[in-house]
Structure 1
């Protein structure tokens, strides 16, 4: 459901233009064409009142939409991931409220959230590449096969996946996984909550970070997209969850959705800050278990609002 907050932003701009007219009507032009200025000021004041009223109405409508969405559709995803283990991988500068909301919805779905793995911005710092490559080689395990022509960050994602996830269910954190997690944590590339985990997840939710200001080129996220593909290779499926801003130019979802290879295997949801979007993340995870991927949400989401095949049929 589209959030009306984005419409409100355009209305607020009216205040700046109208405010200038009011100032002029009471300032240096007073006495020269005063009737015209005063008439215009009255029109501007009326427009300001109307704009305020519209903003108030939009806020009320927006609250209604969110409350309706939260209350009427609540529970649609309950039980969809019963006994499925899911890891949360949090990109740098991700919104903590979005992370908490996703965690709550996953637990309502019956999933067990095994870990929150928060990635340090240092991981994607070009100046740290000389550290990343030898660390990957050091942490590689005998049971991890790096795809031919894989990039440094695809391999890094695959190594982290070996630590927190597995393609098959009911895998525990073994000696190799412990060594990987300790190595990445001690290098200050990843922080884990809890610090010690017992079970490896089957599915992974990656939470996108807030876009930089000013916006950066999509190519800036190439390493991050490669990393996410690596996570997918080492697990049973990945869903990238973000806010509407992340689906626009300068955002991680936009970059992933522009990569045809990535979209074949990784799903994305661009309204994960809304209750319906958090439920869609659950549905997208269910779809990932079937070997399918899709791009869902409200902004250039080519596969619609949610994966129809796993949505409840009686609602």
Structure 2
């Protein structure tokens, strides 16, 4: 489902354009004898009224849409992740309200959120690579299988996954996990909330950060995508939750979805700021437990609005 507020943005743009036309018609040129300009001003005034009416209607429809989600479809994901342990990983510049909303939906689904991990910008800063590379090598434990062709940031994801997650359920934070977590926090690459936790998760939700301004090149997210792939390799599945902006040029989801290897294993949802999108994050996690991945949402989401298993019919 698409939030009508995304349509309102374009209508507001028309509103300002028409407003400029009205000002022109009522400004210094008024009374110059140009009937053509005056007629155009009258047309612009009429269009401006129509645009205002359309904005009012769209706002009413948007409120209905949100109320319907909150009061009618709410609860569809409840119980879908009962007894599942999930770690919540937030990328740099992630919106706090978005993180809290995703966390709340996970709780409603019955999942136990074992830890919230904040990835500091320092971890993905190209200028800090000389710190990250040796630290990653130092923190690799004997029970981590490192792919031969892996990058530094894929290995960093694997290491963090070893500290907070496992493919098998009922795994606790052991000595190796403590070593990794201590090394990452003392280097100020990540932080944990709570700082001490006992259980390791099997599933991971990554919350994408807001795109920078001006928008960076999609290639600038290559290390972040590698990092997320590493998280997936070391767990039973990863879903990346983002907003529409993150699915456009300059956003993490756009970069992720442009990587054919990543999309084979990692799922994404580009409307996680909406109640329906938060439920889709849960549904995508359930799908991850079956070994499948999909790209869901409203913007260039090749697999549709949600996993097929939860759709009433194929749209």
**What's the TM-score, normalizing by structure 2?**
0.95
Task: Confirm or deny: 8 A CA contact 1:115 1:197 kept in the other structure.
Answer: yes
Task: Confirm or deny: 8 A CA contact 2:243 2:270 kept in the other structure.
Answer: yes
Question: 2: CA distance between counterparts of 1:21 and 1:205?
Answer: 48
Name 2:40's counterpart in structure 1: 40
Question: 2: CA distance between counterparts of 1:310 and 1:3?
Answer: 20
TM-superposition CA deviations, 1:226-256 (whole Å, max 9, x none): 0000000110110111111111111111111
Structure 1 unaligned blocks of 5 or more: none
Question: 2: CA distance between counterparts of 1:161 and 1:312?
Answer: 35
Name 1:206's counterpart in structure 2: 206
Name 1:14's counterpart in structure 2: 14
Alignment of 1:185-224 (within 5 A): 185-224=185-224
- How big is the shift at 1:120? 0.7
- How big is the shift at 1:17? 2.3
Question: 2: CA distance between counterparts of 1:82 and 1:69?
Answer: 22
Name 1:79's counterpart in structure 2: 79
Question: 1: CA distance between counterparts of 2:115 and 2:15?
Answer: 46
Task: Confirm or deny: 8 A CA contact 1:286 1:310 kept in the other structure.
Answer: no
**What's the TM-score, normalizing by structure 1?**
0.95
Task: Confirm or deny: 8 A CA contact 1:76 1:312 kept in the other structure.
Answer: no
Name 1:244's counterpart in structure 2: 244
Inter-CA distance 298–25: structure 2 relative to 1 (3 Å threshold): closer
Quote the RMSD (CA, aligned, Å): 1.5
Name 2:149's counterpart in structure 1: 149
Classify the secondary structure of the residue corresponding to 1:166.
coil
Question: 1: CA distance between counterparts of 2:209 and 2:298?
Answer: 18
TM-superposition CA deviations, 1:108-158 (whole Å, max 9, x none): 110000111011111111000000011111111111111111000000000
Classify the secondary structure of the residue corresponding to 2:88.
strand
- How big is the shift at 1:61? 0.3
Give the number of aligned pairs: 313
Structure 2 unaligned blocks of 5 or more: none
TM-superposition CA deviations, 1:14-49 (whole Å, max 9, x none): 233222222223332133125544443333222222
Task: Confirm or deny: 8 A CA contact 1:151 1:226 kept in the other structure.
Answer: yes
Question: 2: CA distance between counterparts of 1:292 and 1:15?
Answer: 44
- How big is the shift at 1:260? 0.9
Alignment of 1:1-315 (within 5 A): 1-33=1-33, 35-309=35-309
TM-superposition CA deviations, 1:258-279 (whole Å, max 9, x none): 1111111111111111111111
Task: Confirm or deny: 8 A CA contact 2:15 2:52 kept in the other structure.
Answer: no
Task: Confirm or deny: 8 A CA contact 2:106 2:282 kept in the other structure.
Answer: yes
